[in-house]
Amino acid sequence: MALLDPEPGKLRPLTTNGPATDRVADDRASGTPDALRNDLVRLLGERKVLHSVSDLVKYASDASPYRFVPRVVVIAESVGDVAAVLRYAHEHRREIVFRAAGTSLNGQAQGKDILVDVRRHWTGVEVLSGGAEARIGPGTTVGRVNVALARHGRLMGPDPASASACTVGGVVANNASGMTAGVTRNSYRLLSSLTLVLPSGTVVDTAAPDADDALRKAEPELCEGLLALKAEIESDGVLTARIRAKYELKNTNGYRLDAFLDGSTPVEILRGLMVGSQGTLGFIAETVFRTVSLDRLTHTALLFFPRLTDAAAAVPLFNAAGARAVELMDGNTLRACASVDGVPADWAEIPPQTAALLVEFRAADESAHQANRQAAADVLAKLTLVAPVASVTNRFVEDPATVRTYWHAREAFMTAVGKARPAGSTLITEDFAVPPSRLAEACQALSELQRGHGYEAAVAGHAAHGNLHFLLAFDAARPDEVRRYAAFMSEFCAMVVDRFDGSLKAEHATGRNMTPFLEAEWGRRATELMWQVKQLLDPAGVLAPGVVLNRDPEAHLQGLKTIPTIEAIADSCIECGFCEPVCPSRDLTTTPRQRIVLRREMMRQPLGSAVMDSLLESYGYDAVDTCAGDSTCQIACPVGIDTGAMMKRFRHQRHTAREERNAARAARRFSLVEASVRTALGVADHVSDRVLGSVTSAVRKAVSPDLVPEWLPGMPSAASTRMPETDRWTAVAVYYVACVNRIFAGPHGSDGPSLPEAIVEVSRRAGRPVWIPPDMAGSCCATIWHSKGYDAGNTLMANRIVERAWEWTDGGRLPLVVDASSCSLGIGREVEPYLKPENRRRHQALTVVDSVVWAATELLPHLKVTDRIGSVVIHPTCSMRHLGDVEELRAVAQFVAQEVSVPVHAECCGFAGDRGLLHKELTEAATRHEAAEVTAREFDAHLSANRTCEIGMEHVTGRPYHSALLALERATRPPYER
């Protein structure tokens, strides 16, 4: 251990909720049993086998109410890895569960034995036939696929609310659909082909011309069995009719028996069976989808009705008018969504009996768009609507920001209601479908059933397809609460099946919660056929036993997870996983969800347990040190949980009083620190990268890798201390040069002006001159201290910058333009909680403008491009996402370049001030996919808006990144100045 490494015990909870009945037992404190670990390491290699108790716990939870701790986690990198693990499981009678995003709502991504991670190394989108088709890796999120396809005016058909987080492999495995997919645009209908690995290890590419011949040669008994089942089903007219009728509604309960009716060969049958198979029949290694038209022209309304039945009665009218989506939200759902960022706060006052429909028409051309407008107006004229709060307009709109707010509220249904649940309660999400004509009746019946069992009713759903969702919250640690839940489920299933002949699972797939009721819906004959399918493909029962088929009538009551109370900032987390795709450390250590899951396990443990000690030993690096602290998880989280802030609190918790004093001393003398760093960079220009890397590496080992930065090859030189001349009296804005731009120069080899020179010049050129204060030295946005959890230093710097900005801007009369997006965020927002009352009042009067926004709104209208760049790629920073400035960066780039690219995988670079210098592995992991996109082709320029982020991107790509404002100055420079 290094001299100043933090002590793990400083993160130990002072009290716990435990010992809980579902805690990890002490005999598992050492993680994976030696024999299993050693076997898999010999088979796959050390780095592909995760075996500590921390590794196992962080994979034990998904978005469902269940929790099963695996024995080992395998990070599969290839089809060969998957096949090898499957063969091992057969030989040693073990069980396997595949896990991608872990957004499963019914425990499909959890297992008790070998869990195989198939997200990390399974991404990629290849657009085919001009966008008509796409080849997609199963670990790719639907959201990223749609970013790639949108450039061609296309989309995937399935559009689940979790599209930003769920992966294509999971969507296919569960046949997830969403708002507009219905029964015609889902995976079953649009999946052109797939590559799968059968439980035996056999690999099948259903698109291969000789696929059936190859399968027949490798698996003759399987082929014979599939054709025999097909003949048996087709010979039974009553069963055939029943199967067809069941899929007229959305239905993901059990296996797709219509695959035997739609497929004529074993491979075609397999293609259909794999859709909705939930990882129990094989592994989906690759997919090829037929895509659908994006239809960019939208016409959208959020309409409020006096009662739920009134809203349901309006659904057929909009369906007949051609609406693409008709989404239902009841009063309690609307009230809960008031906690969602961007949703009007007065929604909290909406009467419980109120309901709303979110209706959207989409069109590809203006003619169809006008027809949609008229159709919508015709329906609207027939409705009786209410305006229960001031923010309700009850009209169709086309403003993108308003439409995004409506959809954001609808998509946040599960998490918003989940946030409002009682502390410590487990959340269960269920969905079902009834004939759309009986939607109102089903809504009423469900509400009565929920209230009858003491549950707060909350209903939403894809009303156009008769698909309803509801949530239940109960304390899984209390046997009486579990019994209440069991009684409700029995009555609910009977209601759906007997009263409505509906689907018990419309789009979330069977999962652990519905297996006991599968036969109630399908009948004995069809259910036994499903058992035969499982036996035929997986005779050894290797894959996900109990997830689709289970003869235990109480299977849904096993493995229910308790939710221990943790730190208030994260206590409302329902472990949905929406945060994970944007987390910089997702492929390195832990994700925000996993940080919370690990903390909850600590709270289940008795103080001093062996498991607690083991978790604490790894939590410092895995959770606290490698958190970028960028808080993009807060943006992705539908209820705004900021796990980054939680980790900053933990960093503070680990500090000694002496460390806090030293940090405050550095803040007071920051002008000296600033000058010292510039001097060091100047000296470094004369020393090789190899020598500097060796020296810093040795010091890091001796002192602490979280305190001493590591030297990165290609670090920029020191910035000039001389600022361009400016005039205070003619300036229309104050230009604050951030400390990173006062310390670091631009990329090596750049021969143009410095960033301050460029901003001053381009502002003058546009007739919007700026003034640089002469006393900036020693000032900072406070982010350095804030991100490390140094409270005293943070408070000092926060107040100092506001006091100086108040003087510079003449009491807020002039805007303050800041040339680093992280500093714009820091000064504009993050300092506010740490200000003295007087400075808080001053801060409210300040107008803080990021330099990119300044350029897009104030400069571009007055500038002319004289030397356009051919192609640029931009890196939007995480701070810009918080500020909502990404479009302004794109606007500046489009102004100066003929072609602008934004990588599909552009997210936080993980450099996070100096965190990329302390843990370069964080930046390298965070940007792996983005760097691959950037280096796959040549660009004339690489642009961003934050110097440290530019350093990080240059490190991982080897390409020179610089500010978009430098590109703007060069592109608008008069010819005679070139």
Do 222 and 340 lie in one domain? The reply is no
Percent helix, strand, coil in the chain (nearest 5)?
50, 15, 40
Q: Which of 279, 253, 493, 461 is closest to 357 using CA atoms?
A: 461
Do 138 and 287 lie in one domain? The reply is yes
Judge whether 720 lies within some domain: no
Establish how many alpha carbons lie within 13 A of residue 506's alpha carbon, considering only the half-sphere containing its beta carbon: 32
Do 540 and 498 lie in one domain? The reply is no
Report how far residue 444's alpha carbon sits from residue 333's, in angstroms, rounded to the nearest whole number. 15
pLDDT at 517 over 60: yes
Residue found by looking up tokens 């347990």 in the block: 609
Q: Please report, as a single letter, which amino acid is at residue 772.
A: I
Secondary structure (3-state) at 715: coil
Query: CB–CB of 285/138 below 8 Å?
Result: yes
- Convert the pLDDT of each residue in 636-659 to its tens digit: 987 789 999 999 999 999 998 988
Residue found by looking up tokens 């960066």 in the block: 889
What is the tally of structural domains in the chain?
Answer: 3
Rounded average pLDDT over 15-44: 95
Q: What sign results for the dihedral spanned by CA atoms 176, 515, 105, 414? A: positive
| Among candidate residues 508, 534, 561, the one where a domain is terminated | 508
Q: How confident is the model at residue 2 (pLDDT cuts 50, 70, 90)?
A: very low
Report how far residue 783's alpha carbon sits from residue 761's, in angstroms, rounded to the nearest whole number. 28
CA quadruple 677, 679, 680, 686: dihedral, nearest 10: 150
| Among candidate residues 516, 544, 572, the one where a domain is terminated | 544
Token pair for 570: 């994260």
Judge whether 443 lies within some domain: yes
Do 302 and 158 lie in one domain? The reply is no
In this structure, are strands 283-290 and 133-136 parallel, antiparallel, or unpaired?
A: antiparallel
Residue 405 falls in which region: left (phi positive, over 0), alpha (psi -120 to 50) or beta = alpha
In this structure, are strands 459-462 and 426-433 parallel, antiparallel, or unpaired?
A: unpaired
Secondary structure (3-state) at 528: helix
Report how far residue 829's alpha carbon sits from residue 886's, in angstroms, rounded to the nearest whole number. 17
Q: How confident is the model at residue 701 (pLDDT cuts 50, 70, 90)?
A: low
- Convert the pLDDT of each residue in 390-413 to its tens digit: 999 999 999 998 998 888 888 777
pLDDT at 102 over 80: yes
Do 742 and 828 lie in one domain? The reply is yes
DSSP secondary structure of 442-469: HHHHHHHHHHHTTPPP-EEEEGGGTEEE
Report how far residue 309's alpha carbon sits from residue 439's, in angstroms, rounded to the nearest whole number. 8
CATH number at residue 118: 3.30.465.10
Maximum CA extent, the chain: 91
Token pair for 656: 């000694």
The mean predicted confidence, pLDDT, of the chain is: 93
- Convert the pLDDT of each residue in 451-466 to its tens digit: 999 998 778 889 999 9
Buried b (16+ CB within 10 A) or exposed e, 399-410: eeeebebbbebb
Do 908 and 884 lie in one domain? The reply is yes
Please give the radius of gyration of the chain, using alpha carbons only, rounded to the nearest integer: 29
Q: Please report, as a single letter, which amino acid is at residue 203.
A: V
Question: What's the burial of 322, exposed, middle or buried (CB within 10 Å: 0-12/13-18/19+)?
Answer: middle
Cβ-proximal residues to 399 (8 Å cutoff; 6+ apart), any chain: none
Secondary structure (3-state) at 460: strand
Rounded average pLDDT over 101-121: 95
Do 283 and 333 lie in one domain? The reply is no
Judge whether 628 lies within some domain: no
Establish how many alpha carbons lie within 13 A of residue 327's alpha carbon, considering only the half-sphere containing its beta carbon: 27
Token pair for 971: 């592109």
Token pair for 424: 């410590």
Instruction: Return the minimum-mean-pLDDT range out of 2-16, 352-366, 634-648.
Output: 2-16
Beta strands in 157-251 (DSSP E): 191-197, 203-205
Q: Which of 830, 811, 804 is closest to 913 using CA atoms?
A: 830
Q: How confident is the model at residue 702 (pLDDT cuts 50, 70, 90)?
A: low
- The pLDDT assigned to 706 comes to 55
Q: Which of 164, 66, 161, 243 is closest to 508 using CA atoms?
A: 161
Judge whether 684 lies within some domain: no
- The pLDDT assigned to 691 comes to 63
Token pair for 903: 């990588």
Question: What's the burial of 870, exposed, middle or buried (CB within 10 Å: 0-12/13-18/19+)?
Answer: exposed
Judge whether 649 lies within some domain: no
- The pLDDT assigned to 772 comes to 98
Q: How many CB atoms lie within 10 A of CB 734?
A: 25
Report how far residue 483's alpha carbon sits from residue 495's, in angstroms, rounded to the nearest whole number. 18
Cβ-proximal residues to 745 (8 Å cutoff; 6+ apart), any chain: 716, 717, 718, 719, 720, 754
Judge whether 19 lies within some domain: no
Q: What sign results for the dihedral spanned by CA atoms 821, 824, 828, 833? A: positive
Q: Give the range of the structural domain holding residue 358, as residue numbers without chain letter.
A: 298-508
- The pLDDT assigned to 716 comes to 83
Q: Which of 870, 904, 907 is closest to 127 using CA atoms?
A: 904
Would you call the peptide bond into 756 cis, given omega within 30 degrees of 0 as the criterion? no
Q: Please report, as a single letter, which amino acid is at residue 907.
A: E
Judge whether 601 lies within some domain: no
- Convert the pLDDT of each residue in 832-875 to its tens digit: 999 999 999 999 999 999 999 999 999 999 999 999 999 999 99
In this structure, are strands 154-155 and 292-293 parallel, antiparallel, or unpaired?
A: antiparallel
Q: How many CB atoms lie within 10 A of CB 959?
A: 16
Do 279 and 407 lie in one domain? The reply is no
- The pLDDT assigned to 711 comes to 63
Distances (CA, A) of 506 to 321, 390, 514, 856: 24, 35, 12, 46
Element (H or E) spanning 707, and its range?
Answer: none
pLDDT at 376 over 80: yes
Q: Please report, as a single letter, which amino acid is at residue 657.
A: A
Question: What are 197's strand-pairing partners?
Answer: 203, 283
CATH number at residue 422: 3.40.462.40
Do 796 and 913 lie in one domain? The reply is yes
Query: CB–CB of 119/593 below 8 Å?
Result: no
Distances (CA, A) of 756 to 19, 828, 912, 942, 976: 58, 20, 22, 19, 22
Q: Which of 152, 38, 32, 58 is closest to 602 using CA atoms?
A: 58
Do 80 and 191 lie in one domain? The reply is yes
Q: How confident is the model at residue 161 (pLDDT cuts 50, 70, 90)?
A: confident
Q: Please calculate the CA angle 73-78-82 and round it to the nearest 5 degrees.
A: 55
Question: What are 396's strand-pairing partners?
Answer: 301
Report how far residue 600's alpha carbon sits from residue 918's, in angstroms, rounded to the nearest whole number. 28
pTM of the full predicted structure?
Answer: 0.94
pLDDT at 704 over 70: no
pLDDT at 744 over 60: yes
Secondary structure (3-state) at 908: coil
- The pLDDT assigned to 337 comes to 86
* Strand arrangement, sheet containing 816-818: 770-771, 733-736, 816-818, 848-850
| Among candidate residues 544, 572, 602, the one where a domain is terminated | 544
Write phi, then psi, for 384 (nearest 5 degrees): -105, 110
Report how far residue 941's alpha carbon sits from residue 897's, in angstroms, rounded to the nearest whole number. 9
Judge whether 926 lies within some domain: yes
Do 308 and 190 lie in one domain? The reply is no
Rounded average pLDDT over 663-685: 84
- Convert the pLDDT of each residue in 526-574 to its tens digit: 999 999 999 999 999 999 999 999 999 999 999 999 999 999 999 989 8
Report how far residue 651's alpha carbon sits from residue 788's, in angstroms, rounded to the nearest whole number. 6
Report how far residue 328's alpha carbon sits from residue 291's, in angstroms, rounded to the nearest whole number. 26
Rounded average pLDDT over 366-387: 96
- Convert the pLDDT of each residue in 276-333 to its tens digit: 999 999 999 999 999 999 999 999 999 999 998 899 999 999 999 999 999 999 888 8
Secondary structure (3-state) at 516: helix
Report how far residue 811's alpha carbon sits from residue 827's, in angstroms, rounded to the nearest whole number. 15
Do 354 and 489 lie in one domain? The reply is yes
pLDDT at 695 over 70: no
